[in-house]
Amino acid sequence: MEKDKLNAKCKLLIIGGSAGSLEVLIAVLPKLNIPSFAIVLVLHRRSGEDGMLEELIAIKTKIPVKELEDKVPLLPGNIYIAPADYHVLFEKDGLLSLDTSEKIHFSRPSIDVSFESAADVYGKEVTAVLLSGANADGTNGIKAIQESGGVTVIQKPESAEVPYMPEHALKEISPDYILDAQELVLYINSIA
């Protein structure tokens, strides 16, 4: 890893995933310390899904889960979950915004859209994690994070329930870390 990445302070941890990623999060989130940065989860989910995902995540972690609405401030020490049928964008003034533009890889929220927006706004102060999933969403986004100087983490494909998403990304970039769920806990707590 580059020396400046070791010295960069993380302001945003953004985690993207699809099929099989919820299981990883349920294994990771209960073991995390409250971080000095914000966590944004961008998970593929069905349109019209109610707040069950937010409730499940809130039960599994001691980190406060905030409802992600248009123009809410991104505050450190909180988890934000992308709502169904909206892309999440980051603004230079520290606000989050929601967007209903076209689906990317059949998905809204799209991991690529959120990762690329985070790269533009946070640059080397963002850490992106790409988890299990069944399509190529996230590959272009994690590439943008890497190009902006941010830290990139991809789930070990052999530990993923659906390895296509991490395998696809690994064909395009050499991330800073390739981790399973337990290693991800240790890594996140080490930067928190």
Half-sphere exposure (Cβ direction) of 59: Cα atoms closer than 13 Å: 7
**Beta-strand runs (E) in the chain:** 12-17, 38-43, 65-66, 72-73, 79-81, 87-90, 95-99, 126-130, 151-155, 177-179
Active-site residue list: 18, 44, 137
Q: For residues 101 and 130, is the Cβ–Cβ distance under 8 A?
A: no
Sign of CA dihedral 61, 93, 99, 131: negative
The three-class DSSP label of residue 72 is: strand
Count of all residues that appear for the chain in the document: 192
Write the CB contacts of 93 (distance below 8 Å, at least 6 apart in sequence): none
What does the alpha-carbon distance between residue 34 and residue 78 come to, in Å, rounded to a whole number?
8
